């Protein structure tokens, strides 16, 4: 059947459109097939537990601590961001390697090689530090949300975020949950963009990084302890190790024997994941301090007491939308970190008592494991009914992590350095040195803080 001239005229655009679409699709396919895009796609696919762990490190407690550092001391403590990066990355790499090589979480390894007493002490410290931290994070999320909705009561937001976090952990499979965490991590990059629109004297920034200054005052030592505690945090140690185990379970390696051991490719992929996650974490830390120094400190706001004051650091980028951007950052970081805080404690306790455990299991398969998560969340929720200052709670929780971390770090360095446990994947000389240096440094800062508190 032949088309009339009129039909040919009207069908021509449709035919051309179809051909254009086909050509476009073929072009995109060829573009994606090119090496740079394939490399980028492959690199993104290797990112998993390390990326989400690094992003969770910049939780509301971290955001508040870094903001306070910039507001109180300007650029003076900016050097801590690049300084702590290799220390943080090496520690988390040790934790991930322990999980990959032994097929067990950190608590299981402590129990196997150091006995129940050491394990119970470690787990008890972790549980209370995590519960305090997640309670502070929930409070910060609620306070930030009130910036946008001042007429809605604080209690409503606290209950809402507690319920959402519990729902994600209990009723969402780990495969989906990890995917959401991976993309949610990108929310934190808003802090990088906020600093790029500020007119900065980069020579001053450079000098602050290369030539660090300290006054060793009680307040500054307290804040340094908080910075190190929220950057190199115990909950991240347990979470990182357990998630490497979870990843193996998702690949079908159900028993410890099946998971034990790791090949060179797995170790390389893990290191790319961990170092990328820690780099993003410390990059965000750097820009939060930088932005707060350039805005709050320069404006004479040297003490952050409210969420409104912290949000003002984002005004150069967001203008009237500063509260919106700050709330998205706090809530996004909190949604990422709170489940990890509760989950890491639950993994540790479940390994103590050899309960069935894992976010890949359903509620009816791991009652006790999820029970610990629920109890921890409810305890954190209850903290917010004690009339505690939400901003101070965030910084105090960071200090608590800083005081507890050295004890658990000693166990991590010892386990990952043992050739009997790790075989050919034991720490090398330089890695071992950085590990013990981190233990020494955090112990020294912790002792200094305790001594100043005793002498009050």
| 179-227 pLDDT tens trace | 666 666 667 777 788 788 888 888 999 999 999 888 888 899 999 999 9
pLDDT for 417 beyond 80: yes
User: Per residue in 300-331, pLDDT tens?
Assistant: 888 888 888 888 888 877 777 788 888 888 88
| Residue 396 within a domain | yes
Q: What is the pLDDT of residue 10?
A: 41
Assess if residue 14 is contained within a domain: no
Cβ–Cβ < 8 Å for 350, 132: no
Percent of the chain with pLDDT over 90: 42
**What is the mean pLDDT of the segment spanning 223-237?**
92
Q: Provide CB contacts within 8 A for 143, sequence distance 6+.
A: 154, 306, 307, 390, 391
Report in angstroms the alpha-carbon separations of 164 from 49, 80, 155, 412, 436.
21, 34, 14, 33, 39
Q: What is the pLDDT of residue 182?
A: 64
**Cα–Cα distance measured from residue 311 to residue 291, given in angstroms and rounded to the nearest whole number:** 11
**23 within domain boundaries:** no
Asked whether residue 281 carries a pLDDT value surpassing 80, the answer given is yes
Expressed as residue numbers, the domain containing 362 is 52-454
- Residue with the bigger pLDDT between 255 and 45: it is 255
User: Is 292 among the domain residues?
Assistant: yes
Over residues 425-438, the pLDDT tens digits come to 999 999 999 999 99
Residue 51: pLDDT band (50, 70, 90) is confident
**pLDDT band at residue 13 under the 50/70/90 scheme:** very low
| pLDDT for position 410 | 96
- Tell me which of 21-30, 219-228, 280-289 is least confident: 21-30
Classify residue 343: in a domain, yes or no.
yes
Give domain status of residue 34, yes or no. no
Give the CA count within 13 Å in the CB-facing half-sphere of 314.
24
- The more confident residue out of 97 and 214 is 97
Q: Please, are residues 224 and 63 in contact by the beta-carbon 8 Å criterion?
A: no
Is 443 among the domain residues? yes
**Is residue 380's pLDDT more than 90?**
yes
Average pLDDT over residues 120-146: 91
Q: What is the CATH number of the domain that holds 357?
A: 1.20.1740.10
Is pLDDT above 80 for 400? yes
* Average pLDDT in the chain: 84
Q: What b-and-e string marks burial along 53-79, b requiring 16 or more CB atoms within 10 Å of the CB? A: bbbbbbbbbbbbbbbbbbbbbbbbbbb
pLDDT, mean of residues 270-279? 88
Q: Is residue 45 predicted with pLDDT exceeding 90?
A: no
Q: How are the residues of the chain apportioned to helix, strand and coil, as percentages rounded to the nearest 5?
A: 80, 0, 20
Q: Which residues of 30-49 are buried (b: 16+ CB within 10 A; e: fewer)?
A: eeeeeeeeeeeeeeeeebbb
Phi, psi of 387 (to 5 degrees): 60, 35
Whether the predicted pLDDT of 41 surpasses 50? no
Please tell me the distance from the alpha carbon of residue 406 to that of residue 340, in angstroms, as a whole number: 20
Residue 454: the pLDDT is: 73
Please indicate, yes or no, if residue 349 is contained in any of the structural domains.
yes
- The set of long-range contacts for 209-215, using a CB threshold of 8 Å and a minimum separation of 24, is 209/78, 209/79, 209/82, 210/79, 212/76, 212/79, 212/83, 213/76, 214/76
Residue 20: is its pLDDT beyond 60? no
Q: Report how far apart the first and last C-alpha atoms of the chain are (Å, whole number).
A: 98
Which range of 159-163, 165-169, 387-391 scores highest in mean pLDDT? It is 159-163
Total domains in the chain come to 1
How is residue 296 annotated by DSSP?
A: I
Residue range 386-408: mean pLDDT, rounded:
89
pLDDT at residue 46 greater than cutoff 60:
no
């Amino acid at each position: 059947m032949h088309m009339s001239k009129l039909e040919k005229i009207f069908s021509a655009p449709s035919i051309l459109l179809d051909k254009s679409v086909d050509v476009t699709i073929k072009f995109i396919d060829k573009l994606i097939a090119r090496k740079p895009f394939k490399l980028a796609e492959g690199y993104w696919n290797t990112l998993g537990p390390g990326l989400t762990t690094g992003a969770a490190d910049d939780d509301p407690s971290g955001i508040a601590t870094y903001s306070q550092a910039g507001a109180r001391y300007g650029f003076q403590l900016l050097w801590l961001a690049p300084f702590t990066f290799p220390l943080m990355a090496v520690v988390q790499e040790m934790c991930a390697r322990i999980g990959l090589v032994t097929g067990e979480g950190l608590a299981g390894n402590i129990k196997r090689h150091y006995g129940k007493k050491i394990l119970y002490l470690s787990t008890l410290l972790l549980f209370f530090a995590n519960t305090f931290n997640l309670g502070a994070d929930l409070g910060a999320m609620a306070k930030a949300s009130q910036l946008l909705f001042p007429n809605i009561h604080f209690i409503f937001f606290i209950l809402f975020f507690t319920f959402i976090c519990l729902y994600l952990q209990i009723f969402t499979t780990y495969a989906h949950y990890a995917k959401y965490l991976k993309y949610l991590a990108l929310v934190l990059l808003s802090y990088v963009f906020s600093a790029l629109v500020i007119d900065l004297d980069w020579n001053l920034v450079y000098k602050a990084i290369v030539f660090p200054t300290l006054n060793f005052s009680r307040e500054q030592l307290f804040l340094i302890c908080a910075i190190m505690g929220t950057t190199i945090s115990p909950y991240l140690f347990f979470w990182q190790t357990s998630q490497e185990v979870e990843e193996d379970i998702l690949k079908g390696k159900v028993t410890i024997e099946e998971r034990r051991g790791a090949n060179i490719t797995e170790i390389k992929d893990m290191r790319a994941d961990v170092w990328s996650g820690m780099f993003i974490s410390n990059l965000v830390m750097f820009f939060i301090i930088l932005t707060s120094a350039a805005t709050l400190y320069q404006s004479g706001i040297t003490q952050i007491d409210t969420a409104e004051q912290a949000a003002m650091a984002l005004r150069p980028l967001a203008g009237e939308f500063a509260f919106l951007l700050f709330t998205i950052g706090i809530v996004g970081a909190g949604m990422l970190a709170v489940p990890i805080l509760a989950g890491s404690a639950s993994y540790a306790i479940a390994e103590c008592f050899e309960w069935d455990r894992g976010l890949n299991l359903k509620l009816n398969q791991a009652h006790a494991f999820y029970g610990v998560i629920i109890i921890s969340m409810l305890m954190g929720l209850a903290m917010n009914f004690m009339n505690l200052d939400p901003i101070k709670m965030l910084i105090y929780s960071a200090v608590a992590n800083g005081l507890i971390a050295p004890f658990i770090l000693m166990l991590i360095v010892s386990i990952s350095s043992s050739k009997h446990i790790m075989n050919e994947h034991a720490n090398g000389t330089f890695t071992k040195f950085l590990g013990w240096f981190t233990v020494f440094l955090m112990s020294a800062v912790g002792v200094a803080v305790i001594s100043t508190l005793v002498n009050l």
